[in-house]
Structure 1
Amino acid sequence: MTLPTTLILLTILVCGFVASWRRMKRSRRRPELVPPLLGPTVRIRPRPHHAQPRTQSVQPKPPASLNSWAPRRSPADLSGMSEHIPVRSRRHFLSGNEQRFLVSLEAALGREYRVFRNVRLDDLFVTTTHSPRQEKATTARLRERQVDYVVVALPELQPVLAIEFEDTAGDPVTAAACAGAGLLLARVRAEKIWTPEGIRAYLQPGPSERMSL
């Protein structure tokens, strides 16, 4: 073997040793990205653009009861209110005499009429004046007054009779308004025990001539 050939082989061996040493040095500095226990790498093909991923629609389950959806607030829970008003509901909406009279009145009238309690005059009448000033004054006077009962005829709910108890002071404005509108005003005694027959006998015949029961 000649000297040039020996030098060439020696150069190749040195270059190979240097390359192996550099690869070994890089492998010590850089950690392996994939653990060897995962096995061989699997190549995933990209999905075509026209293919849509399959999604499974999940329907929400309906509640067992609608009460579970409704907010629950006790009567004493006033945290969400801006103002506290110290009130409570009445135990009895009407007095004993008022309730007995109402029951007898509804029984005497039958299904063709309805009875409303404590009706303000501005809900019962409308002004007919063309003067804005007089209309405002009349509406204010009507708003301050009310009648104990109003009887209306079905199905139009047309007022046919206004009833006041005699234990309340008679008001001339109420009497004048009913007379001007052509509405019968009857004043009854609250302490009297009324029966459906007694009320029916009063309403027939000619009730317009009997202004006091």
Structure 2
Amino acid sequence: MRLNDLFLITAPPHQRQGTYARLRDKHVDFLIVALPDFRPVCAIELDGASHDQPQQQYRDAVKDVAFRSAGLPLLRLRAEGNHTRQSVQKLLEGYVRQRTVA
């Protein structure tokens, strides 16, 4: 999911272009939404070995700030991890329940 499609940029007019440029071409691997209105609940980013590199860590930090600013949780999972349906379900359980009740 592209971040520019997910977030509404509310920066002052003179800062919008810079904010847009920082988010351009950035995305998350999964976006979890609440039905029936498809309201975003949280996002999942799979971090592989490339995420250990300084340039990618900077890009990840930009994503982290965007999600924090929007009040939307961004969960990071190592791509090399042994994730099962049950482990991901348990990870999401608190976020999904908390955000869908509100």
- TM interval, short-chain normalised: 0.7 to 0.9
Aligned alpha-carbon RMSD (Å): 1.8
Task: Extract unaligned runs of 5+ from structure 2.
Answer: 52-56, 97-102
Rounded Cα–Cα distance in structure 2 between residues aligned with 1:137 and 1:175 = 17
- Cα offset for 1:142? 1.1
Query: Does the alignment pair 1:127 with 2:9?
Result: yes
- Under a length normalisation based on structure 2, what TM-score does the superposition of the two structures give? 0.74
Matched with 1:166 is 47
Q: What SS class does the counterpart of residue 82 from structure 2 fall into?
A: coil
CA contact (8 A) 2:41 2:95 kept: no
Matched with 2:71 is 182
Q: Which structure has the highest strand share of the two?
A: 2
Rounded Cα–Cα distance in structure 2 between residues aligned with 1:206 and 1:158 = 13
Report the residue type matching 1:161 in the other structure. Answer: C
Matched with 1:210 is none
User: What's the % identity of the aligned pairs?
Assistant: 42
- Cα offset for 1:161? 1.0
- Cα offset for 1:206? 6.3
Rounded Cα–Cα distance in structure 2 between residues aligned with 1:205 and 1:197 = 14
Rounded Cα–Cα distance in structure 1 between residues aligned with 2:86 and 2:63 = 28
- Mapping of residues 7-86 of structure 1, within 5 Å: none
Report the residue type matching 1:121 in the other structure. Answer: L
The partner residue of 1:193 within 68, 75, 82 is 82
Rounded Cα–Cα distance in structure 1 between residues aligned with 2:4 and 2:94 = 30
- Under a length normalisation based on structure 1, what TM-score does the superposition of the two structures give? 0.38
CA contact (8 A) 2:47 2:78 kept: yes
The partner residue of 2:23 within 139, 142, 145 is 142
- Cα offset for 1:137? 1.4
Q: Which structure has the highest helix share of the two?
A: 2
Paired residue total: 88
Q: Deviations over 1:99-141 (max 9, x none)?
A: xxxxxxxxxxxxxxxxxxxx11111101112x32211211121
Bigger relative CO (Cα 8 Å, ≥ 6 apart): 2
Task: Extract unaligned runs of 5+ from structure 1.
Answer: 1-118, 208-213
Report the residue type matching 2:43 in the other structure. Answer: A
